[in-house]
Amino acid sequence: MGSTTIKFSAEDNRAGMPSFISHTPAANPIGTESSATQSPQAPNFGVLEQYLGFRIEDPANNVGRSPVFNQSMNNQSVGPDLQSGAFNKTYASANTNFSAALMGSQPVQLQKGPQPNLFSTSSGQHENWGESNMAESSSRTDTSTDLDPDDKNQKFDGQSAGVGVSDSSDKSKEKTSDQKTLRRLAQNREAARKSRLRKKAYVQQLENSRLKLTQLEQELQRARQQGVFISNSGDQSHVGSANGALAFDAEYARWTEEQNKLINELRTAVNSHASDTELRTLVDNVTTHFNDVFRLKTNAAKADVFHILSGMWKTPAERCFMWLGGFRPSELLKLLANQLEPLTEQQLTGIYNLRESSQQAEDALSQGMDALQQSLAETLANGTSGPEGSSGNVANYMGQMAMAMGKLGTLDGFLRQADNLREQTLQQMHRVLTTRQSARGLLLIHDYFSRLRALSSLWLARPRE
Amino acid sequence: MERVRDLASKKAIVMFTKSSCCMCHSIKSLFYELGASPAVHELDKESRGKEMEWALRGMGCNPSVPAVFIGGQLVGSATDVLSSHVDGTLKQRLIDANAIWF
């Protein structure tokens, strides 16, 4: 029977807890001893409760609960539900046990209502006790005084004293200490409950904050896109570089989507052997749409030429092989010449000539860019001689910078010429080819770029050693 | 205006440029590539350069340089030259003006 194992003796309690502790089974691994001995201020009652709690606890719940119980008791602090729950249960059971011990070998029962046998160690029953105890002692909570470590100790000592003489003391003293104990228990339960509520509120707050954060992020995204569009429709000169870059990226993304749609329409038409007139319309749609992106780039270059030239709006593989902010027309023509068979002699010649012209124009523009870079380098390199800080030098420096700025201003001119070359090349291509060939040509070009983009993705996702 | 026209008619290919203009360098390269040798007049080196630039603008050249004349006729600026090169008309004009032979 449980009551016999409690080994509750007056002498032990009077001295304090250490001796009491020795009664705990060796199997108690949790540093209950240490906690009891460490803090002279720690209520002996807590240790007592713990001991009792430990003794009656289900072996399965054993290890998990005791330290928790101890901690809760000592600190009266915020703890997770588990702790408080355990606290409650063991407390409750301890409470009943205590009473049982005090009253000798009477069967353990609370004064109110039928109770299951204390020493059947299922947690369910513990909970029952907890509830009834709560009910019983909550009435006492109202009348309890504020707990104070010193107060606790005093009460405790009183209680231990009371406990000590349980066997032989008069009933009134027992009742008082019993009441005090119960009140204390109730207060502790209250504290535990409050801390549980606090924790709940805190978690709720965290959840709300997280939701708000996601919402804000979404808003920011939207606002950025929208804000960018709004400012774009206004005066271009006021748009900052970063804004221009973002605007272009967004517009380019939309353009790509639209282009995919148009190409798919074209593909369906080609596969279903649509009429030439129908194909012509679709081909014209795609070509016009192609011109749209050139216009987009020109506008964006006015705001941020370096963004376009850097190709940051393209995928890495595209970027690596691009020329002056875009594709190289002669490359595309080479691709078409190989894939678009059969071509008539005339067509072959036409394509070949076009490719050659394009190549020559590309070379000319590349040379112009090289000249620009060289000129810029010379400008920045000049005038570095002479002592620092002399007024002549400063004027020199400013003059240099002004000249360099002027040269940079010509960059967007080159970009415009490059895009113009692309546009003209595509246009000329359509003149050389039949409608159906043009359609197939556009599909080929689109597929090529799609594959290049897919290659970029694959490359970025490749497993690395 | 007159000076421009005068100079433009002197040679098969006449280009008005500025020494600092890199696009002019591009167009020049293109002509060399084609086997032509244009007569180049740098407006910033000419005594009446400003006037001539003004005149060119008046003729519709924007930007004013490079301005290309083939056979005394104005072709235009870089955009016009490159576009006409792509559609094949530039070469024809050069041949017609005896600037190149093939």
Beta-bridged to residue B41, according to DSSP, are B16
Q: How far is CA A36 from CA A42, A67, A157, A191, A414, in A?
A: 7, 11, 14, 21, 84
* B66, two tokens: 């490079």
Chain A (405-424) residues lying within 8 Å, Cβ to Cβ, of chain B: 406-407, 410, 413-414, 416-417, 420-421, 424
Per-residue pLDDT of chain A (465 residues; tens, 9 = 90+): 444 444 444 444 444 444 444 444 444 444 444 444 444 444 454 555 554 544 444 444 444 444 444 444 444 444 444 444 444 444 444 444 444 444 444 444 444 444 444 444 444 444 444 444 444 444 444 444 444 444 444 444 444 444 444 455 566 777 788 889 999 999 999 999 999 999 999 999 999 999 999 888 888 887 776 655 444 444 444 445 567 788 899 999 999 999 999 999 999 999 998 888 999 999 999 999 999 999 999 999 988 999 999 999 999 999 999 999 999 999 999 999 888 888 899 999 999 999 999 999 999 999 999 999 999 999 888 755 555 556 777 888 888 899 899 999 999 999 999 999 999 999 999 999 999 999 999 999 999 999 999 999 999 999 887
* A447, two tokens: 């597929």
pTM of the model: 0.59
Q: Does B102 touch chain A (CB under 8 A)?
A: no
Contact A357 B33 (CB under 8 A): no
At A425, is the secondary structure helix, strand, or coil? helix
Kindly report the nearest CA distance between residue A283 and chain B, in angstroms.
Answer: 19
Q: Are B68 and B13 in contact (CB under 8 A)?
A: yes
Residue predicted with more confidence, B69 or A60:
B69
Per-residue confidence (pLDDT) for residue A86, from 0 to 100: 43
Provide mean pLDDT across the span B69-82. 94
Calpha distance A272→B68 (Å, rounded): 48
Calpha distance B39→B80 (Å, rounded): 18
Compute the CA torsion angle A85, A90, A92, A98 (nearest 10 deg). -160
Chain A (346-365) residues lying within 8 Å, Cβ to Cβ, of chain B: 353-354, 357-358, 360-361, 363-365
Q: Does A383 touch chain B (CB under 8 A)?
A: no
Taking chain B, what is the end-to-end CA distance rounded to the nearest angstrom?
32
How many residues are there in chain A? Answer: 465
Residues of A in contact with B68 (CB under 8 A): none
Q: Are A70 and A39 in contact (CB under 8 A)?
A: no
**Cα dihedral A446, A447, A451, A457 sign:** positive
Neighbour-count burial of A432, counting CB atoms closer than 10 A to its CB (0-12 exposed, 13-18 middle, 19+ buried): buried
Provide mean pLDDT across the span B69-98. 93
Helix (H) or strand (E) holding B9, with range, is: none
Strands B67-70 and B13-17 turn out to be antiparallel
**Position A332: which residue type?**
L
Per-residue confidence (pLDDT) for residue A72, from 0 to 100: 42
**Cα dihedral A424, A429, A431, A432 sign:** positive
Q: Are B25 and A368 in contact (CB under 8 A)?
A: yes
> Can you give the three-state secondary structure of A128-192, one letter per residue?
HHHHHHHHHHHHHHCCCCCCCHHHHHHHHHHHHHHHHCCCCCCHHHHHHHHHHHHHHHHHHHHHH
